[in-house]
Chain A
């Protein structure tokens, strides 16, 4: 930070590449330099670390403690770290009507939503792989569903799918001869499928950007060699492109699964969890605001974390060997 440290700074960085072997005579200065560097580093990073610890890590740990206490919004004053611990909330959550259905709905929603968004992203990336006029603009348009505010697109979909005055039902009856308008979001036979399609539409650009970047970074020689050898388009995709994309697809699938499994906004805004679309996060919200039961909500939220950790743990256990091969 002061002038006197500067010679050390200049000497240390390019002059002595192996950091463990300082030149004779410069050692005390480099040591002091390193200490001041460490001090500056810690000073610059600590505000961020403090925020993360206070607003993310501490609440998470506290949430685990709340899950084992009997606390409601009304008797909030008693809430603390020390209290009477019991498994009552966990038992209540598991015995709450529809517990299993909600877990199964959440799993169906996240597995199919993830598969849908990654598949659509892959198709889009393959279609936009080669250059053509206006590709940059098309690529930008592809990202619209992902960047637009969630509430706005949810309201838009509800308007489009409205049984009475919706665009889709109007043309469905006009063009495809639907007898009755379909209540896409209110009918329990279509609601879950509709929110899954929404999720795929909303999130495919995320997979699309990453897969397109990976496709464009791919060296062309291998594919060209296969082409010369007579491999057709589909064979080149199956044997040359897809194997190179698989690591990216795997990472995208895990990320999207985690985020879809815990997502709240989509379902809450489209159906409020009605018509057989209630997922765990909507239930957490209802326990918290509807019933005002903090303990129950915490226990239900903890269930999300536990299921997620188990599923992701299983995934990494099965792919650990393959991961090593790639590295």
Chain B
């Protein structure tokens, strides 16, 4: 209501005095201002989003002494890959054993992706294509789980897995990660299945394909872009996860993930130099950036376009 009553006078006023012809009208002034402001904002946004990551990489390849003397340098005067050697070498060889952390993260993330997709693909197909009792309730339940904060689950899951003696095992962490991702995966894949025309599956059925055969031969290949990008999303979630890795795995260094290992590098007993810390940050971030660039492209490609022709 207030919006209307405010806007009416201003528009009628401009009717009476059209902006054209007035050299310094408010419109031209504002247009000019916002054209410049937009460019400034884009540059500032690029600085705050890209520069920190450039700086992370920069510190990781500069010699420590150089960094301590001049922390404000914007490009490297000398190169030193020593930090990468120190961070990757096993503990027995005087390094930090980050290679084994990366392997653990890879096992965890890979296991979570496989298990989540194995559950979510049939589940999302069922929710989008088949009519069964409770279909709606299931969707609501999954959406609620998406909003659900993991800190509320931290205590009971910690207690439960301690009690059954599985805390500290990678399998327990994978189970927890599945529960964090599967509901959202079903939700995302369901949305994609709904964009695939049912008529394709009906044609397959007419040609004598069974329901599971249709799902396997028609729906699954068509949903591949969504499945791949969903799998990459799950990978990112599992690779980045920190709270449950900290709660479940912190006691055994051999089971540390990259996120957990990185966070432990700065605690009292293992105070590593800044350059080594930044090298670890780079190694933690690079797989995610790669996965992100791949999945962004996949998401924008639609494979169904033109599938229904003829």
A interface residues (Cβ-Cβ under 8 A, vs B): 1-3, 5-6, 9-10, 13-14, 34, 37-45, 47-49, 51-52, 54-56, 59-60, 62-63, 66, 71, 73, 76-77, 79, 123-124, 126-128, 130, 138, 140-145, 147-160, 162, 165-167, 170-171, 174, 201, 226, 229-235, 239, 243, 255, 258-259, 261-265, 269, 281, 284-285, 288-289, 294, 297-298, 301, 304-305, 308
Residue numbers in A under 8 Å from B134 (CB-CB) = 42
A54, A127, A261 — which one has the most chain B CB atoms within 10 A of its CB? Answer: A127
Do A56 and B148 touch (CB < 8 A)?
yes
Residue of B nearest to A145 (CB): B49
Given contacts A60-B153, A79-B163, are A151 and B179 in contact (CB under 8 A)?
no
| B210 contacts A171, C-beta separation under 8 Å | no
Whether A160 contacts B52 by the Cβ 8 Å rule is yes
With both chains docked as a complex, state the minimum distance between the C-beta of A108 and any C-beta of chain B, in angstroms. 18
With known contacts A165-B274, A234-B30, A298–B151 Cβ distance under 8 A: no
Q: Evaluate contact between B27 and A10: CB separation under 8 angstroms.
A: no
Q: Is the CB of A6 within 8 A of B155?
A: no
Residue pair B126, A230 in contact (C-beta under 8 Å): no
In order of increasing CB-CB distance, the 6 nearest A-B pairs are A230-B14, A41-B132, A262-B149, A41-B130, A55-B179, A59-B156
Residue of B nearest to A255 (CB): B147
* Interface hits, B120-168 → A, CB 8 Å: 120, 122-123, 125-127, 130-135, 138, 141-142, 145, 147-160, 162-163
A235 to B127, CA, bound (A): 45
Mark interface residues in B41-79 (1 if CB within 8 Å of A CB, else 0).
Answer: 110011011101101100100000001100110000000
| B176 in contact (CB, < 8 A) | yes
A-facing residues in B233-258 (Cβ within 8 Å)? 236, 239-240, 242-243, 247, 258
Smallest Cβ-Cβ distance to B127: which chain A residue: A45
CB of B24, distance to nearest CB on chain A (Å): 13
Write out the residue numbers on chain B whose beta carbons fall within 8 Å of the beta carbon of A265.
242-243
User: B133's contact among A38, A51, A243, by CB below 8 Å, is which?
Assistant: A38
Given A13-B198, A162-B274, A264-B150, 12 more A-B residue pairs with CB atoms under 8 Å apart are A41-B126, A43-B126, A52-B182, A52-B183, A55-B175, A56-B183, A127-B45, A148-B288, A155-B281, A167-B55, A230-B19, A289-B247
Interface pairs (17), CB distance under 8 Å: A14-B202, A40-B212, A45-B135, A51-B119, A142-B49, A145-B49, A148-B285, A149-B240, A151-B259, A155-B263, A160-B55, A166-B71, A233-B31, A261-B149, A263-B149, A265-B242, A285-B151
In terms of DSSP, what is the predominant structure of the interface of chain B?
A: helix
Residues of B with C-beta under 8 A to A232 = 26-27, 30-31
Minimum Cβ distance to chain B for residue A276 (Å)? 20
B309 contacts chain A at the CB level, 8 A cutoff: no
Which of the listed residues A60, A77, A230, A269 has the most CB atoms from chain B within 10 Å of its own CB?
A: A230
Q: Which of B52, B156, B179 is within 8 Å of A63, CB to CB?
A: B156
Q: With contacts A38-B132, A127-B45 known, is A231 near B14, CB below 8 A? A: yes
Encode contact with A along B1-36: 1 for CB under 8 Å, 0 otherwise: 001001100110011011100000011001100100
How far is it, in angstroms, between the C-alpha of A232 and the C-alpha of B30 when the chains are bound? 7
The answer to whether A167 touches B72, judged by C-beta atoms less than 8 angstroms apart, is: yes
Interface segment out of the listed B85-93, B221-229, B289-297: B289-297
